[in-house]
C-alpha cells in the first residue's frame, strides 16, 4: 500500500513538473520598465494610463503576461502584473514593492527587477520595453558636458540660439545611455550587463538617440531584435494603446515591424513639427557580419575619416550634439566601391525595417539608413579614449 502511494505521488509530481515546463515553454512575458523618476514623469504616467487601457490578458491567462515596473516622481517603485478580471476591470497585481530611495537608473536596480520578473513569471519568450531619457553610447555626463577643448565647443555652437525651442518636446534631456534618476545615469556597458541575465526576443527603446551602431553591437547578445530611433523621440513616445496586443499574436519579427509601423503612423498623423519620427528594426544575429564589413573600411581610410568634412553627412542630432551621423552616408564617403558594396549588403541584412518622416524637428532627413555612427575627430581625446572601450570599436577599429 505504501509502495502504491509513493508511486501515485511520484506520478503526480512528474505530471505537475511536465505541466509547469509546458506552461513556461508556451508563456510570453512583456515587461515595460518605466524609469520615470525624473523630468519625464508626467509623460510616463500618461503612457502608463494608455497601457492600462490597452488590450490586457485575462487574470486567469497564464501564457500571456504583461509586467510593468514603474517609478515616477515622489512615488514608491513597484513591479506589477497588468491584467483584467472576468468583468473586464483592470487589475494591478503587485509582485514586488521597492524602497522609496531606489535608483531606477542603476544597473543593479534593472538587474534586480528583471530577476524578480523572471522568478514570478518564468517564460521561454520574453520581451522588454525600456522607457526613459537616453542619449546613446556616450560616456557618463558627456552629453551635457563634453569635457573637450572649449574652443571646439565654441566653434561648433556658433550661430545656435541660446535656448532650444524644442526642448519641451523631446525625451533626450541631459543624460547618456539609458535612464536618469536624480542625476544618476546608466552607462551602456552597465546596461548590457544588467540585461545579460535574460535573453529577450526583442528590446524596444522608448527613449532618444539609441539607434547607434555602437549600442546595437554592444547589446547584440541581449535580444534577437532591437527597435529604436537614431534621432530623439518626441515626449509622447510609443503608441501603447495599439502596440501591445500584436506582441502576443505575432511572431517576434512581425511583431516588431508592427510596432514600427504603429509608431510611424502615430507621428505621420500629426501636423507641423509634431510630424517628426525615425524608427529602425535591427536583427542582432547579423551585426557581427556588419562589423566585419566595416573593419577594412575603417582600417584602410583612417586619415580620410579623421579629416572628413562632416557638414554634408546626414546628421541625427541638434544643438551641437555632434556624435550621431548616418552610418551609410558616412561609410559611403570613404569606402571604395567594393568595400561599400560589401558593407551595404551587410547593412541591408541587419536593418530589416526603417522609416522616417521628411524631417525631425529642425533636421531634414534626406539619407536614412536606420543606424547612426560616431565620426571621430583627433581633438576629442576624452570621447575617443572612452570609445576604445566599446565592443563595436574593438571589432572594427574605428578609433585607434
Instruction: Share the mean pLDDT of the chain.
Output: 90
pLDDT for residue 189: 94
Radius of gyration from C-alpha coordinates of the chain? 23
Give bridge partners of residue 226 from the DSSP assignment: 203, 282
pLDDT for residue 185: 81
pLDDT for residue 18: 67
- Rounded CA-CA distance 107/105 in Å is 7
Q: How confident is the model at residue 358 (pLDDT cuts 50, 70, 90)?
A: very high
Note the pLDDT tens digit of each residue in 104-114. 999 999 999 99
Note the pLDDT tens digit of each residue in 6-16. 554 554 455 55
Q: How confident is the model at residue 170 (pLDDT cuts 50, 70, 90)?
A: confident
Q: How confident is the model at residue 179 (pLDDT cuts 50, 70, 90)?
A: confident
Closest CA to 243 of 271, 210, 202: 202
Q: How confident is the model at residue 146 (pLDDT cuts 50, 70, 90)?
A: confident
> Is it the case that residue 27 has pLDDT exceeding 90?
yes
Task: Kindly state the average pLDDT of the residues 378-387.
Answer: 93
Helices (H) and strands (E) in the chain, counts: 14, 15
SS3 203: strand
More confident of the two residues 319 and 322: 322
Which residue ranges form the domains of the chain, and what is each CATH number? 25-285+351-366 (3.40.50.11970)
Task: Kindly state the average pLDDT of the residues 142-165.
Answer: 60
Of 159-163, 299-303, 311-315, where does mean pLDDT reach its minimum? Answer: 159-163
pLDDT for residue 4: 58
> Is it the case that residue 140 has pLDDT exceeding 50?
yes
pLDDT for residue 50: 94
> Is it the case that residue 161 has pLDDT exceeding 70?
no
- C-alpha distances (whole Å) from 217 to each of 177, 185, 205, 280, 352 are 14, 20, 15, 14, 15
Q: How confident is the model at residue 362 (pLDDT cuts 50, 70, 90)?
A: very high
> Is it the case that residue 169 has pLDDT exceeding 70?
no
CB atoms within 10 A of CB 114: 23
Q: How confident is the model at residue 151 (pLDDT cuts 50, 70, 90)?
A: very low
Please give the backbone phi and psi of residue 50, each rounded to the nearest 5 degrees, phi first: -60, -40
pLDDT for residue 175: 46
DSSP 8-state code for residue 234: B
> Is it the case that residue 356 has pLDDT exceeding 60?
yes
Of 8-17, 86-95, 239-248, 308-317, where does mean pLDDT reach its minimum? Answer: 8-17
> Is it the case that residue 166 has pLDDT exceeding 80?
no
Task: Kindly state the average pLDDT of the residues 80-88.
Answer: 96
Q: What is the DSSP string of 243-260?
A: HHHHHHHS-HHHHHHHHH
DSSP 8-state code for residue 212: B
Of 52-61, 80-89, 163-172, 361-370, where does mean pLDDT reach its minimum? Answer: 163-172
Cβ atoms of residues 221 and 277 within 8 Å: no
Task: Kindly state the average pLDDT of the residues 271-282.
Answer: 97
Portion of the chain with pLDDT greater than 90, in percent: 76
pLDDT for residue 16: 58
Task: Kindly state the average pLDDT of the residues 364-375.
Answer: 98
> Is it the case that residue 210 has pLDDT exceeding 80?
yes
Task: Kindly state the average pLDDT of the residues 126-134.
Answer: 95
Of 1-5, 29-33, 113-117, 291-295, where does mean pLDDT reach its minimum? Answer: 1-5
Amino acid at each position: 500500500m505504501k509502495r502504491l502511494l509513493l508511486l501515485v505521488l511520484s506520478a503526480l509530481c512528474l505530471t505537475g513538473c511536465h505541466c509547469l515546463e509546458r506552461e513556461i515553454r508556451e508563456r510570453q512575458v512583456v515587461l515595460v520598465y518605466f524609469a520615470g523618476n525624473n523630468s519625464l514623469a508626467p509623460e510616463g504616467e500618461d503612457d502608463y494610463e494608455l497601457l492600462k487601457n490597452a488590450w490586457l490578458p485575462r487574470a486567469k491567462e497564464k501564457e500571456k503576461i504583461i509586467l510593468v515596473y514603474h517609478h515616477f516622481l515622489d512615488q514608491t517603485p513597484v513591479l506589477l502584473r497588468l491584467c483584467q478580471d472576468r468583468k473586464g476591470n483592470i487589475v494591478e497585481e503587485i509582485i514586488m514593492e521597492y524602497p522609496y530611495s531606489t535608483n531606477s537608473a542603476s544597473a543593479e536596480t534593472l538587474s534586480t527587477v528583471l530577476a524578480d520578473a523572471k522568478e514570478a513569471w518564468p517564460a521561454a519568450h520574453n520581451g522588454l520595453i525600456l522607457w526613459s531619457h537616453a542619449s546613446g553610447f556616450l560616456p557618463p555626463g558627456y552629453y551635457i558636458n563634453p569635457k573637450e577643448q572649449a574652443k571646439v565647443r565654441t566653434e561648433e555652437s556658433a550661430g545656435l540660439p541660446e535656448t532650444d525651442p524644442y526642448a519641451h518636446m523631446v525625451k533626450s534631456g541631459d543624460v547618456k545611455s539609458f535612464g536618469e534618476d536624480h542625476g544618476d545615469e546608466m552607462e551602456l556597458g552597465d546596461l548590457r550587463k544588467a540585461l545579460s541575465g535574460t535573453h529577450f526576443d526583442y528590446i524596444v527603446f522608448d527613449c532618444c538617440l539609441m539607434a547607434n551602431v555602437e549600442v546595437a553591437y554592444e547589446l547584440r547578445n541581449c535580444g534577437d531584435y532591437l527597435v529604436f530611433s537614431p534621432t530623439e523621440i518626441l515626449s509622447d513616445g510609443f503608441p501603447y494603446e495599439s502596440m501591445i496586443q500584436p506582441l502576443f499574436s505575432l511572431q517576434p519579427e512581425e511583431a516588431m515591424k508592427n510596432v514600427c509601423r504603429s509608431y510611424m503612423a502615430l507621428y505621420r498623423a500629426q501636423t507641423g513639427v509634431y510630424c517628426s519620427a525615425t524608427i529602425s528594426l535591427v536583427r542582432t544575429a547579423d551585426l557581427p557580419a556588419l562589423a566585419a564589413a566595416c573593419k577594412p573600411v575603417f582600417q584602410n581610410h583612417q586619415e580620410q575619416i579623421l579629416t572628413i568634412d562632416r557638414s554634408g553627412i546626414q546628421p541625427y542630432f541638434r544643438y551641437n550634439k555632434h556624435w550621431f551621423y548616418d552610418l551609410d552616408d558616412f561609410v559611403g564617403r570613404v569606402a571604395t566601391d567594393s568595400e561599400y558594396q560589401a558593407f551595404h549588403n551587410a547593412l541591408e541584412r541587419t536593418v530589416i525595417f526603417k522609416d522616417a518622416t521628411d524631417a525631425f524637428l529642425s533636421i531634414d532627413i534626406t539619407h536614412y539608413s536606420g543606424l547612426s555612427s560616431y565620426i571621430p575627430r583627433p581633438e576629442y581625446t576624452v570621447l575617443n579614449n572612452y570609445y576604445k572601450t566599446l565592443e563595436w570599436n574593438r571589432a572594427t577599429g574605428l578609433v585607434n
